[in-house]
A and B are shown apart, each in its own frame.
Chain A
Amino acid sequence: MKKATFPDILSTAILLYCFWLLITGQLVSLCKGDPNVQVLIYGVVISLGVAVFSSRFFIHESPFYLYNPVKWVMMLVYVVCVFCIELIKANLDVAFRALNPALPVHPGIVKVPVDLKSEYGQSMLANSITLTPGTITMDIAEENGQTYYYIHWINVTTQDHKAAGDAIKGRLEKGVGRIWK
């Protein structure tokens, strides 16, 4: 495990402080113009203290990569335009499968190749796959420089690695690839 440097701690502390503002309700008070100064200062101290201990679990690559408005716009486009449509489609599919009297399920675990290089990108894609009903990422493995996911799929139509990958995550992977390399 690598040692925590100052930029790592700072970027973690900024994120923690945003969460502090949201949870204590001070963001609303700031917008109204009468913030409680004591609570704001406590937040700085506590978020710096927590960041010193936790930044080495949280930051693995360049710390300020995501503090970039262009990335925020890309992430918003990904969440609203790509991910939500896939989510609603998969939800309707699984809901009608469960309500169907014949219960048409063909479960199986398939192995799927993934081309993303960044660790954050891989975990974001795995979380997106798990969040769409009908597919759960079970494990990540690496063989000969190629990353593979093992995915439990409720309706296996093909057992070929490449074709199954296109069917499960074709559009999600393109969307994530625009945010992380």
Chain B
Amino acid sequence: MALLYVVYVLIGLSVFFALAGVVGMLRMPDAFCRMQSSTNIATLGVLGVIIGGIIYAFAFLHNGEMGVKLIVLGVFYVVTVPISGHAIAKGAYHHGVRPEKDMVCDQYGEDLEK
């Protein structure tokens, strides 16, 4: 029964990180900082649910199929989230999205102008 509370704590932690990511996405000053907060949702906000779900499926439901599918889903998220994040950051910069508030330094823009 203690294992059930471990599952609940993992899922609750991931709700907390998802909440922090959503609040960050609504509050952050410019587009790139919002992308950082969305990474917050996509890493620990997802992994807590996936790990908790794997424990729950194997220990309480005794359902191997669900556990294996959850493992596939977790691996898929870990592999694809950085790729799409990198692609959208580069695409937004080349499209001309610039922060309204000044950045501390922009060494990418300096090198692109050369």
User: Residues of A at under 8 Å CB distance from B?
Assistant: 19, 22-23, 25, 27-28, 31, 87-88, 91, 94-99, 103, 105-111, 126-128, 130-139, 141, 150, 152, 154, 156, 159
Contact = CB atoms under 8 A, between A and B. Distances in A.
Nearest to B16: A95
Contacts of B101: 107
Contact of B33 (A19, A150, A154): A154
Interface centre among B29, B30, B86, by most chain A C-beta atoms within 10 angstroms, is: B86
A133 B29 contact: no
Interface string B89-100: 110010000010
A135 B40 CA distance: 11
Contacts of A28: 64-65, 68
B72 interface: yes
Contacts of B113: none
A58 to B, nearest CB: 13
A109 B82 contact: no
Contact of A137 (B16, B40, B86, B104): B86
B105 A159 contact: yes
Q: How large is the interface on B (under 10, 10 to 19, 20 to 34, 35 or more residues)?
A: 35 or more
B40 A98 contact: yes
Contacts of B24: 94-95, 97-99
Interface of B: 16-17, 20-21, 23-24, 27-30, 32-33, 35-37, 39-40, 43-44, 64-65, 68-69, 71-72, 78-79, 81-83, 85-86, 89-90, 93, 99, 101, 103-109, 111
Contacts of B23: 98-99
B40 A138 contact: no
Nearest to A111: B107
A99 B102 CA distance: 22
Contact of A109 (B68, B72, B107): B107
A17 B82 CA distance: 24
A109 B99 CA distance: 12
Contacts of B82: 126-128, 130-131
A174 B23 CA distance: 34
Nearest to B84: A130
A131 B44 CA distance: 10
